[in-house]
Structure 1
Amino acid sequence: MKAAYITQNGSAKDIIIGDLPKPQIAEDEVLIKVNAVSVNHVDTFVRSGSFETDTSFPFVIGRDAVGEVVETGANVTGFSEGNWVWTNSMGYQGRQGVTSEFAAIPADRLFHVPENVDPIQLVASIHSSATAAIVLKNIFKVQSGSAILIEGAAGHVGTKFVQMAHILGLKVVTTSQRKDFDLLDRLGSDDCLDYTKSLSKQLEKSTISQVDYAVDTSGKVSLADNLRALKLGGQVCLITAPKLEKATFNVRKFYTQSKTIHGFVISNASLDQIQEAGKFINRMMADGYLLEDDVLEKSYTQAAWAHQKLEENAKKKKILLKF
């Protein structure tokens, strides 16, 4: 079968386009014919070795895929030949990736594509959507009626946070460029702030002057600013490093106000969290949410190009590799 793979950790130039044996499925696995794979920053980290995880070479790259079931293992129920399915947790922790004509997926890491949902828009969304779902429901454990600050809200991850937070009953404050205010208003933002202006001054004038939760998807806001925006007992979750990785903040105010700082990467999510997020994502997509990403479709043979562009931050559209 055709595949994009590596034989050692290294640069994007080390990605090989070639033939590998078609995988044989175990009793609890499903063989899918891959249609499209999304390219995420974490894929470049695994490929380069900067994110250490178990890999066996030759190693197929990529973790998020959508495709069609062609065979099921003896112990698999709930999936059958011809079903359209998706996965978002392959290509790390000893599991081969999915940038290949065929992929063997554990059944417990596989989800049905909801009826009438475009598979391309789905696979473009699932990495960001799963991050937002797990942070909101498992890390923050958000409560309806609470307030959340979402920074960089018009990006791939930010738009997912906005929609989910709105659906979960939160009051949503966002930061973005002014040109994105209309979009964020439609997605569920209650108050749109200009990211080029002072956060604290804008919050002072807002009807939501302090929040229960804060997440910066952009990496451009200081940790101190986010901590100041929190109410008593508020929580910040870091899903990327702030631009200035060394943080200075008032420790006394931090602990006397019972605030919390979380760190989260989806590669450390448990299987239970992945499964809960997948079900939530499917429900929202079936209702028309989370499907707004601008997509750039390329052939799987351009995997090295895609990794290089992602590392250079040269493309704003979500890059998908097609078979």
Structure 2
Amino acid sequence: MRVLVTGAAGFIGSHLSHRLLERGDEVLGFDNLNDYYDPTLKQARLDRLLPLPGFRFVKGSLEDRAALEAAFDGFRPQRVVNLAAQAGVRYSLENPHAYIDSNIVGFLNVLEACRHRGVEHLVYASSSSVYGANRKLPFAVEDSVDHPVSLYAASKKANELMAHTYSHLFGLPTTGLRFFTVYGPWGRPDMALFLFTRNILAGLPIDVFNHGHHSRDFTYVDDIVEGVIRTLDRVPGPDPQYDPLAPNPGSSSAPYRVYNIGNHRPVQLLHYIEVLEQCLGRKAQMNLLPMQPGDVPDTEADVEALRRDTGYSPATGVEEGVRRFVEWYRAFYRA
């Protein structure tokens, strides 16, 4: 297939592009290589993709409608995976406009490009952050998600609503994936594992919020990519079981689905740090701090819907996943 991947120089996007190319798909990567975090890391990911047969790249932003439409017209994708977005919960408290530009205006441009060019299936990144103030665990796609606690979360919930509108009005098949705390080699420097590793190796203390008492459904990047590809290959149709008198938020009478994509095995943050200490052979100095605004205490993904519909079965525990990350980090940074 011809697959357009936005955010192809990003953490998940670069891994996904490799997997699609390995199985014989053509991939057009689209990314603006912005400086939200170190652009040299994004360029390094991209440099691994550029020599590969079947890969092409266009530099551009989702907000740049003309550039995005030109990429669609030049490549004529059959399917699209939209992973480009302004990421980060905490940054959304500092720079809210970036989230509207990329995650709302940019996503509208993606929907319009898909609609007018007959794209067979749009898969897009949502986030576990949409569960916000929910406390019932595990989080299930059947749950209400009307209480976001950050603008980032609100923008991702908005993406799901916008996608449903296009599925309903124009018959565009869309699938939203609520990612749960993705980690692994080539990861994002603003995420905890990266920050912890850098500081521990430098002999600096690490900031541990909520005094380390919260838990996260840490999901290894290879398991995430497996789930993305399984959903990409399964174009949704109207749900024959959908009942408008008792609506299921995860499906619709339109060709629309939303899934959780996580490990379904939450891990206490303090245990995560212990595993990292073992892999690094060093102890961490911890600054134990209260929970930050916009954060939630615990996450856990109910992945039953994704397992039922695609056979998704995450296989990587944190002991193995953190070890692989540390090996990559030491090699990449010669640390």
Fold shared per TM-score above 0.5: no
Name the TM-score class by shorter chain: 0.3 to 0.5
Q: Whose strand proportion is higher, 1 or 2?
A: 1
Structure 1 or 2, whichever has the larger Rg, is: 1
TM-score relative to the length of structure 1: 0.35
Q: Whose helix proportion is higher, 1 or 2?
A: 2
